[in-house]
A and B are shown apart, each in its own frame.
Chain A
Amino acid sequence: MMRKVIGIIVIIVGLGYVFMSFDFLPVIGDSTAPAHTHVSDYYIENALRDTHSPNLVTAVLADYRGFDTLLETTVMFSAGVCAVMILGSKSHIRNRFLVPKKILKGKPEPGVSAYKTVNKDVMVTLIAIMILLYAIYVLLHGEVGPGGGFQAGALMALSYIVSMMIAPDTRPLFSLSKANAAALAGIGVFIYAFTGLLTVFNGGMFLEYGRLPFPVSNEYLHTIGIMLIEVGVTIGVMATIITILKAIIERVRFDDDRD
């Protein structure tokens, strides 16, 4: 125990000394620091003209540095595939979270649930629908206010998790098996990459939305381009989160609190 405390004190003193002597970092908040004057000024001044999206972060994320976001979605997709490959599910692991077969045959039982109360199941479906609605709002308003692909994808996954966690016996809004979810994540990434390839086939650089082949005036092309990749990101992130969740749940056996 003492060894740990001594370690911490050494860290505090060491960093303190190093920091007092160095002054290589700019003072927080002065707007003349080199970080603000070179590239980001261009982004702020030209974002509306180039990308037609008032939300500067989405403009930088989706249009100026769109390739980074493609790689981000690939990071999520590779995390999902890795979790699936590591946690290969064994068929004999019975798990309470798998929806019982009789419900899937379209003959739902009259509201029988773990805690013998009816309203929980009705309310959960309502909550899940509201979260989904909010997720679609966040997706479509990615350019105007704070929001965008990742937040929308994570919210959709949350609405699935909420309905699965609270009422495991009722049928969730949309049921995705682990293999389908992993494949859907791949499709999400491919939608994003295909948008870039579309611009390459049409003569522009990769992810240059001005060259998308849709017959719309130039300023809307950027909006359509950003919307397409946001949809790709949403599908990728949602499917990956559900894949990792199902992969972990299948290996975790809740056989101790069967009431």
Chain B
Amino acid sequence: MMTGIEQFLADKGIYYLTFLLLSFGVYGIIACKNYMKKLICMNIMQVAAIVFFLSLGQKKGATIPVLIEGLTNADSYINPLTHALMLTAIVVSLGTTGVGLALLTRIREKFGSVEEDDIIRRQNKL
């Protein structure tokens, strides 16, 4: 019974949950009215993309990608390429958050609020 669930999870379950997390992130960006919440959902979406990439690089029964004297064959180490790429994605998400918050501060100063409908109403008056 245990291997049944594990087999389903390994085959499709983890990918399905990751894409679910990604689609909730995108849904949050579209549905939330507050600009701060849109920023947080954007971060969540980027973490979902990172989890998807990392789950591509998994190997059953392999250790972390730091070389040990005894082990030399390639199947005993996790795929290091996906980790190197995901460091880039995390740093990109921090950069985008920083710029987003800078914009948010200026929008709050100029329009007095961060709610989407207040901004659209005041924007037409500007």
Tell me the nearest residue of chain B to A82, going by C-beta: B99
Partner of A76, one of B23, B59, B95: B95
Cβ-defined contact, B102 with A54, below 8 A: no
Alpha-carbon gap, A176 to B100, bound state (A): 23
From residue B116, how far is it (CB to closest CB) to chain A in Å? 15
From residue B69, how far is it (CB to closest CB) to chain A in Å? 9
Tell me if A28 counts as interface (CB < 8 A to partner B).
yes
Tell me if A39 counts as interface (CB < 8 A to partner B).
yes
Cβ-defined contact, A29 with B10, below 8 A: yes
Which of chain A's residues 33-55 have a Cβ closer than 8 Å to chain B? Answer: 35-36, 39-41, 43-45, 47-48, 54-55
Partner of B95, one of A19, A61, A79: A79
Tell me the nearest residue of chain B to A86, going by C-beta: B102
Alpha-carbon gap, A131 to B57, bound state (A): 32
Stretch at the interface among A105-113, A187-195, A216-224, A247-255: A247-255
Alpha-carbon gap, A40 to B77, bound state (A): 10
From residue A226, how far is it (CB to closest CB) to chain B in Å? 13
Task: Specify which chain B residues have a CB less than 8 angstroms from the CB of A43 in the assembled complex.
Answer: 80-81
Give the interface size bracket for A toward B: 35 or more
Cβ-defined contact, B87 with A72, below 8 A: yes
Give the interface size bracket for B toward A: 35 or more
Task: Specify which chain B residues have a CB less than 8 angstroms from the CB of A79 in the assembled complex.
Answer: 94-96, 98-99
Partner of B105, one of A36, A48, A75, A248: A248
Per-position 1/0 for B49-77, Cβ under 8 A of A: 00000011111101011110000101101
Tell me if A92 counts as interface (CB < 8 A to partner B).
no
Cβ-defined contact, A20 with B12, below 8 A: yes
Stretch at the interface among A7-15, A132-140, A159-167, A202-210: A7-15
Cβ-defined contact, B80 with A57, below 8 A: yes
Residue among B64, B77, B82, B101 with max Cβ neighbours from chain A (10 Å): B77
> With A54-B67, A72-B92, A87-B105 in contact, do A31 and B98 touch (Cβ < 8 Å)?
no
> With A27-B11, A35-B56, A44-B77 in contact, do A65 and B84 touch (Cβ < 8 Å)?
yes
Task: Specify which chain B residues have a CB less than 8 angstroms from the CB of A87 in the assembled complex.
Answer: 102, 105-106
Q: Please name the 5 residue pairs, one residue from A and one from B, whose CB atoms are nearest each other, closest first.
A: A79-B95, A56-B80, A29-B60, A56-B65, A60-B84
What would 9 more interface pairs be, CB under 8 Å, given A28-B9, A43-B80, A150-B90?
A: A15-B19, A35-B57, A36-B57, A39-B81, A45-B72, A56-B67, A56-B77, A83-B101, A248-B102
